[in-house]
Structure 1
Amino acid sequence: MPVEVILPKVDMDMATGRISRWYVNEGAAVKKGDLLFEIETDKAAMEIDAPASGILRDVTGKEGIDIPVGEAVAWIYAEGEAAKPAQQVAASGAPAQSTAPVTTAPTTPVAVSEAVPANAVTGTLHNGIRATPLARRLATEAGLELDAIAGSGPKGRVMRKDVEAAISVPKLEAPVRAELINSRSPASSQPRPAPQRAAGAAPLNFAWLRQGEGRPIVLLHGFGADLNSWRPMLAAGPVDVPMLALDLPGHGGSPRQTPADLEAIACDVEATLAALDVGPALLVGHSFGGAVAATVAARGHADVRALALIAPAGLGPEINGAFLQGFVRAKSEASLMPWLRLLVADEAVLSKPFVNATLAQAADAELRAAQAEIADRFFADGTQTFDIRNLIAGLRIPVRVIVGANDRIIPASQSQGLPGEVALHVFPATGHMPQVERREQVLKILLEMARA
């Protein structure tokens, strides 16, 4: 039996939709998941995939007209399956077969919703980049620049799968020329000890997420994440200072090793910053990365002028050990999602690209094995085996701690009792990832610190 292709409901208030563009012609072979067409509503433009593999026929959904939700716009026939005679098709509810080919662009102007720019609906050039509306939205949410993504669509158009691939696949950064790095971040005004590495080597994977002038912001992610986890925060507003993100050992594109202690990780961070000639910087760490950041700042080898710790580990012994073990064991979306929901107070912020990126990491057995060893070493028996309170107390630089009141991984109460000169920001109705759930506010705090 042919498979019905319907116009789906893509938002709660949607009664009708409009096909703004077909990507597949009548009679073309499609595979399940292939992009079929694009829907325009009053609120958004969405890409619709093929529900089955086969031959696309009986296309009745015309471009540029209102179509009721749930109405069939085409049918997909299995290979070799004969089209039904008109009377049988009508009796079964399928539309009569159309002999007219479906064009890939409307022959008459399409009425475009005010909420969606015309060039976004049709996927034409915008700032010189061809991309579908969904690809643009996903890239914006992930803090990705479209011009850095290779498009696989017609004429190099960036598609949804291209953006998701850019988010989910960590790529080891190419060597960066010294003059390019120097233009992004000012050189340190103070000499630093030579890193304990080969000259010019950057032991950790890194990416310049933003360029700009002024004091650079260096970002260290938490356990089980990678440098891409910072990208959603960057979509919260304009950033005019350099932002550098590193992958910790055993994460992302960095070596799959289990560090002996926080000092060993700090050494790798210092060596990477020295190799990139990063000067006076604001160092930011989330969760486990917060403990690493505090260690780097306390050692004094890197030129850290201010420190921001987001839901930092190392302020108390308690941690959600079940989360750590469940997270590294999860291999499917069904087994991963219950653990991801623990990270936030509002699971609506768990975007599809974020979930897909985490699933891609879960499929990397070597990566997860390294992270399981890291969890066993630093969080043995569900306990934080290190303490950064004394490190923070000994610092003579500005320090801010940012936590969510509803953190289910590391209790927010652990942030109490810090030295009086440490500024504490507690966000209500927020979980373990304030940089995602309160990204506008957190980004504002970080930019204020970088510009101080």
Structure 2
Amino acid sequence: MSEKRIIPIVMPKWGLSMAEGKLASWLMKDGDSVKAGDQLLEVETDKIAGAVEANEGGILRRRIGQEDTIYPIKTLIGVVADADVPDADIDAFVGSYVVPVAEEGEEEAAGPRYEFADTAAGRLRYTKRGSDDNTVLLIHGFGGDLDNWLFNADALAEGATVYALDLPGHGQSTKKVDEPTVAGLAKAVLSFMDTVKIDKAHLVGHSMGGAVAIEVARLAKPRVKSVTLISSAGLGPDINMDYIDGFVASASRRDLKPVLENLFADSGLVSRQMVDDLLKYKRLDGVGDALTALKNGVFAGGRQAALLADALAASGVPALVVWGAEDKIVPAAHATAAKGAKVEIIEGAGHMVQMEQAGRVNGLIKVMIGG
């Protein structure tokens, strides 16, 4: 007789700095049938809100967590189980549940929250998650940073070593951008790979980072196992320059918030903390000059300067293209330019599809990288 399954639902950990989250709302009720990938509840962090998805199917037998309540990560907030599991067994499971402690060596393996690499392109901040021969490198877009992968890095690290970096001019990396073009940023990525000794990797690029990933494949095909392009630049000339100009020019919360709302299908995901974090970054010395230089180099004349669809096809590198159907920054129609690539257009998501539909995107990437 097979053992009856009881599956805990816990407060997730999204990113290195997350210690707790607020259970904003339950999306299902006790007794509902659950499939793997179903959204169970919404969680709010100091960065953004996101949905917690079921890892396995069953019945939502017990909602323990209360809405509008903050819980530490790994706290038991619900239980999914088979229909034939007695209520007494659920009671016993909940009553005896102990929050898992870090395994021996886990905290050491996690290392510092962030690390820095001194490269030919300058000092670049990065994170490293997981431990596996299969390596993934996450490359953010214009004005972003490695926290754009909060909902993805740990999930992908279940079967890979995952790096995420701040490109020159972004995050906590050097604000000096020697060559403010897609090609220049690709050279910076290759220099980073040299410094941290990444011989070969699956590249995952978002927006401008997608164009950078294609250019890395063009410059150094033997070092690229595959490319996953998320709402990618480089596949067509169109770009929402009102967004680019607005992002560069905004100096107050009132100005920046409506600009950022263009990134999401659900504009309510733009939290006060997200706006404040970006304002802090934009006020750092050198950021204004770096963003302006990149705007003029990457989006010269209000169009995308680097058109790389032919280079992607010529490289022969396996490619996956993922887009939010409601992208207001780069048209989803550009996906058709990636000849030979697998294309997935995801409804109910905008430019930040890797945040809005993280479970779906993570699943697609895992198939792509063989994880």
Q: How far is the alpha carbon of 1:403 from its aligned partner? A: 0.8
Q: 2:227 matched to 1:307?
A: yes
CA distance in 1, matches of 2:163, 2:180: 25
- SS class of match (1:426): strand
In the alignment, residue 323 of structure 1 is paired with which amino acid?
Y
Inter-partner Cα distance in structure 2 for 1:369 and 1:202: 17
Equivalent of 1:226 in 139, 145, 160: 145
1:162-209 deviations in Å (ceiling 9; x for gaps)? xxxx8xxxx6x2469xxxxxxxxxxxxxxxxxxxx7xxx674514234
Could you tell me whether the CA contact under 8 Å between 2:328 and 2:351 is conserved in 1? yes
What's the offset of the Cα at 1:46?
A: 4.0
TM-score, with normalisation over the residues of structure 1? 0.57
C-alpha separation in 2, matches of 1:254 and 1:439: 25
Q: Is 1:343 aligned to 2:263, yes or no? A: yes
Is 1:212 matched with 2:131? yes
Q: Equivalent of 1:440, from 359, 365, 370? A: 359
| Deviation of 1:400 (Å) | 0.7
- What is residue 320 of structure 2 aligned with on the other side? 400
SS of 1:245's equivalent in the other structure is strand
Query: What is the root-mean-square deviation of aligned Cα atoms in Å?
Result: 3.4
Structure 2 regions of 5+ residues with no counterpart? 1-22, 27-63, 80-97
- Cα distance change, pair 256–202 in 1 and its aligned pair in 2 (3 A): closer
Q: Residue 205 of structure 2 contacts residue 229 of structure 2 at CA under 8 Å; is this kept in 1?
A: yes
Paired residue for 2:199, among 253, 264, 279?
Answer: 279
Amino acid in structure 2 at the alignment position of 1:240: G
Which AA in structure 2 matches 1:273? M
CA, structure 1 residues 425+330, in 2 after alignment: closer, same or farther (shift >3 Å)?
same
Please tell me whether the aligned partners of residues 247 and 253 of structure 1 are also in contact (alpha carbons under 8 angstroms): yes
CA contact (8 A) 1:217 1:281 kept: yes
Amino acid at match of 1:269: V
| 5+ long unaligned stretches in structure 1 | 1-9, 14-39, 48-111, 117-123, 130-144, 151-165, 177-196
Runs of 4+ in 1 over 4 A off after TM superposition: 10-13, 112-116, 145-150, 235-238
Q: 1:242 corresponds to which residue? A: 161
Shift of 1:252: 1.6
Q: CA deviation at 1:301?
A: 5.9
**8 Å contact 2:25–2:67 — kept in the other structure?**
no
The alpha carbon displacement at 1:450 in A equals: 1.8
Distance 1:352 1:127, change over 3 A: farther
CA distance in 2, matches of 1:149, 1:278: 18
8 Å contact kept, 1:221–1:227: yes
Deviation at 1:354, TM superposition (A): 3.1
Report what 2:32 is aligned to: none
Matched, 1:451 2:370: yes
Q: Is the 8 A contact 2:156 2:162 kept in 1?
A: no
- 1:24-423 → structure 2 map (5 Å cutoff): 42-46=66-70, 127=101, 173-174=115-116, 203=122, 205-234=124-153, 239-258=158-177, 259-300=179-220, 303-419=223-339, 421-423=340-342
Percent identity over the alignment is 29
**Cα distance change, pair 431–175 in 1 and its aligned pair in 2 (3 A):** closer
**Deviation per residue, 1:304-350 (Å, 9 max, x gap):** 01111111112221111111111111122221110111001012333
Q: Structure 1 counterpart of 2:101, which letter?
A: N
Matched residues, number: 287
Contact between 2:207 and 2:232, CA under 8 Å: does it hold in 1?
A: yes
Partner-residue secondary structure (3-state), 1:394: helix
Greater fraction of residues in strand: 2
Mapped to 2, the partners of 1:319 and 1:11 lie a distance apart of 34
CA distance 1:260–1:202, shift in 2 (3 Å): closer
Structure-2-length-normalised TM-score: 0.68
Equivalent-residue separation in structure 1 for 2:116 and 2:295 (angstroms): 29
